[in-house]
Amino acid sequence: MKEDFNDTENLIVRHFNGECSEVETATLLAWVNESEQNKKEYIALKDLWDSSRKMADYTEIQLAKFYKEQYFRSRKSRMVFIRSAIAVAAVLLLALVINIFVPTTSEKSMDGYQVVTVPLGSRSKVTLADGSEINLNSGSELTYANSFTSQNRSVTLSGEAFFHVKSDAGHPFLVKTKNFDIRVTGTSFNVCAYGEDVLGSTTLAEGKVKLQLNKSNQEFVLKPGEKFMLDGNAQKYSLVNADVEQETAWKNGEFIFKSIRFSDLTKRLERWYDVKLTCSDARLMNYTYTGRFKNQETIWQVLDALRLTSSIDYKRTSFREFNIIYKSNN
Amino acid sequence: MDFDSVFRKYHHRLYLFTLKFIENESDALDIVQNVFLSVWENEKLGVDELKIQSYLFNAIKNSCLNYIKHRKVIRKYEQIAAAELKELEVFQYQSGENSLIEKESLQQLEDAINSLLPIYKEVIILSRYEGLKNKEIAKQLNIPVRTVETRIFRALTLLKEKISPKTFFVLMQLSGTFK
C-alpha cells in the first residue's frame, strides 16, 4: 500500500512536469476519479504547482497590443463608415433632386430583424435573399428576420405590398399580417393590410395562395383573380372576383379606382401623396368614385379633377392639409 | 476603475490562471486578450470590483473549457486523459472553488517557498522558476529522478500546510459540498 501511494506521488509530480506517458496519465486520471479525497488532493497540489510558477509578466506588452488592435478595428469600421456615408450622401442627394419633401425608404436593423419602412408619399421595392421581389406601397413596413434564407422564408407586413415570390414548393413563403397569414410557394399577389385599417385584403394575380385567419385559424384557398377581404373587427370576410390590374396598378405608379367609397379614396390619396384630407360632410359618403391617375399628377391636380367631375370642392388648410367640402350641384 | 487599471491589475493573474488549463502560452494570451475585449465592448467596468474580478475569472474558465473541448475534438483520442484531467480542474473551479491565483495569495506562496528547507526550496526553484524538467534537475543535482519527484511532492505538501490553514479549511469545506 505504502509503495503504491509513493507511486502516485511520483506520478503526480511527473504529470505536473509534463513527463507522463499516456498510460501513466490514464492511471493518474483513474486515481483522481477514485474518490473525492483524491480529487481534492490533486486539485490542491496542482493549484500550488501552478501558482508557484514564475512567468514573465506580459501585461504592458499585451496592453499595448490591445490598443493597437482596437485602433485597427476602429479604423476599419471608420473606413466602412466613410464608405457607407458616401453611399448615403449619394442617395440623399438623389432624393433631394427627386423631391425635397419626400423622405426616402429607410432600412433599419434591430434585434436580428430588418425593417423596411416606406414613408407616406413614396414607394419602394425590396429583393429578398431567396430572389422574391416585393413592391411596397406608401406607408408600409416590411419586417423580416436576419435569418431569412431561401429555406426559411417568412416576413411580416403592415401596409400594402405586391409579392412576386420565387417558386420553391419545398419551402413555403409566409406573409404575416395583423389579421391573417398567407402561405404560398411561388405566386404573385397583392396584400393590403395597413395596421390602422379595419379592412384587409389579398388579391391573387397568379398561382395559388393559402390564407389563414389569425383569430379563428379558418383557412381559405384563393384562385387567380380572386380578392379576399376581411373586416378585422367583425371578422367578416368576403371572396369576390377582382380586377387584378386595378388592385396592382399602384406598383407601376398608377392609381386606379373603380366604385370605391369616399373614405377609401381619401385614405388612398393621403398615403399616396402624404397629405391630410379632412371632410366633415356626410353627404360625400354616399358617392362612389371611379378614376385613374398617373403618378405624375400632383395632389392639386387630383383634387382639381375631382372638383370638376363630382360634387367636391376643397380648401387648403395648412401645409399638406386639405379640407374637402361638399358642393351642391346648383 | 478605468480600463487600463483593470487590465494592469488582472492581466498577469488571468494569464497565470489560464496557463493552469492551457499549455500553449500564445493561445493563453489570446484567451486573456479576448476576455478583456469583452470587457471593453460591454463596458462592464461600471460594476463594483468584486464583480469585475468574478466576471473575468468566469470568462476565462468558460473560454478554457471551450478550448479544451475543441482540442479534444480535433485531437481525437490523443492524450484524452490529460484533457480530461484539465476539464475536471476547470469544472472544479467553476463550481465555486478558488485558485490561489484568484485569491491573490501569490505573494504569500512566494514567502512560503522562501521559508522551505533548502533541499525542497531548490527543487521548486529549479522546476517552477527555471522551468527545468525532472530529469534535468536530477542531472544538475546528481540525484535519481525518483528522488527529485519525491522531493517536489514533499515540497508541495509542505507548502500546502504553510499556506494559510484557514483558507485551506474554507477550501475543504467548499469542496466538501460537491457531488
Mean pLDDT taken over chain A: 81
* Mean per-residue pLDDT, B91-102: 86
Residue type, B109: L
Quick one: closest CA in B to A46, which residue? B20
ipTM of the complex: 0.84
CA A63 vs. chain centroid, Å, equals 41
Range from A118-132, A134-148, B3-17, B74-88 carrying the lowest mean pLDDT? B74-88
Please say if the pLDDT value at position B168 is more than 80. no
Reference A272, options A242, A287, A294; nearest CA is A294
Q: Does residue B86 sit in the same domain as residue B126?
A: no
Quick one: closest CA in B to A9, which residue? B153
User: Which residues span the domain enclosing B81?
Assistant: 3-94
Nearest-CA distance B52 → chain A (Å): 18
Q: Does residue A265 sit in the same domain as residue A242?
A: no
Residue type, A212: Q
User: Which residues span the domain enclosing A303?
Assistant: 253-326
In this predicted structure, what is the pLDDT of residue A99?
46
- Residue A123 has φ and ψ, to the nearest 5°, of -130, 165
Q: Does residue A202 sit in the same domain as residue A75?
A: no
pLDDT in tens, A23-49: 899 999 999 999 999 999 999 999 999
Q: Does residue B126 sit in the same domain as residue B43?
A: no
Nearest-CA distance B7 → chain A (Å): 7
In this predicted structure, what is the pLDDT of residue A223?
87
Q: Does residue A9 sit in the same domain as residue A75?
A: no
Total tally of structural domains belonging to chain A: 4
Cβ–Cβ below 8 Å for B82 and A39: no
CA B175 vs. chain centroid, Å, equals 17
Q: Which of A6, A45, A58 sits opposite B15 (nearest CB)?
A: A58
Q: Does residue B8 sit in the same domain as residue B87?
A: yes
Q: Does residue B58 sit in the same domain as residue B115?
A: no
Cβ–Cβ below 8 Å for A59 and B8: yes
pLDDT in tens, A230-282: 887 878 888 888 888 888 888 888 878 777 788 888 888 888 888 888 887 77
- Do B16 and A50 touch, CB atoms closer than 8 A? yes
Q: What are the DSSP E strand ranges found in B6-81? A: none
Q: Does residue A160 sit in the same domain as residue A136?
A: yes
Cβ–Cβ below 8 Å for B99 and A39: no
Q: Does residue A154 sit in the same domain as residue A257?
A: no
CATH of the domain at A279: 3.55.50.30
Range from A16-30, A56-70, A194-208, A278-292 carrying the lowest mean pLDDT? A278-292
Q: Which of B15, B134, B172 sits opposite A19 (nearest CB)?
A: B134
**Can you state the angle between helices A36-51 and B106-114, rounded to 10 degrees?**
80
CA B144 vs. chain centroid, Å, equals 28
CATH of the domain at B150: 1.10.10.10
> Which grid cell sits at B37?
475585449
Q: Does residue A121 sit in the same domain as residue A200?
A: yes
Cβ–Cβ below 8 Å for A66 and B16: no
Answer yes or no: is B101 within a domain. Answer: no
pLDDT in tens, A286-317: 777 777 777 667 787 788 877 777 778 888 87
Please say if the pLDDT value at position A3 is more than 60. no
Q: Does residue B31 sit in the same domain as residue B80?
A: yes
The contacts of residue B9 (CB under 8 Å, 6+ apart) are B1
Q: Does residue B56 sit in the same domain as residue B116?
A: no
Cβ–Cβ below 8 Å for A50 and B106: no
In this predicted structure, what is the pLDDT of residue A94?
56
In this predicted structure, what is the pLDDT of residue B170?
46
Please say if the pLDDT value at position A103 is more than 90. no
In this predicted structure, what is the pLDDT of residue A206?
86
Distance between CA atoms of residues B175 and B135, nearest Å: 34
Quick one: closest CA in A to B102, which residue? A51
Q: Does residue B35 sit in the same domain as residue B81?
A: yes
Total tally of structural domains belonging to chain B: 2
Answer yes or no: is B12 within a domain. Answer: yes
Distance between CA atoms of residues B125 and B114, nearest Å: 10
Reference B10, options A66, A277, A186; nearest CA is A66
Cβ–Cβ below 8 Å for A52 and B109: yes
Quick one: closest CA in A to B174, which residue? A40
Percent of chain B with pLDDT over 90: 44
Cβ–Cβ below 8 Å for A44 and B4: no
> Which of B67, B94, B121 is the C-terminal boundary of a domain?
B94
Q: What is the CA radius of gyration of chain B?
A: 18
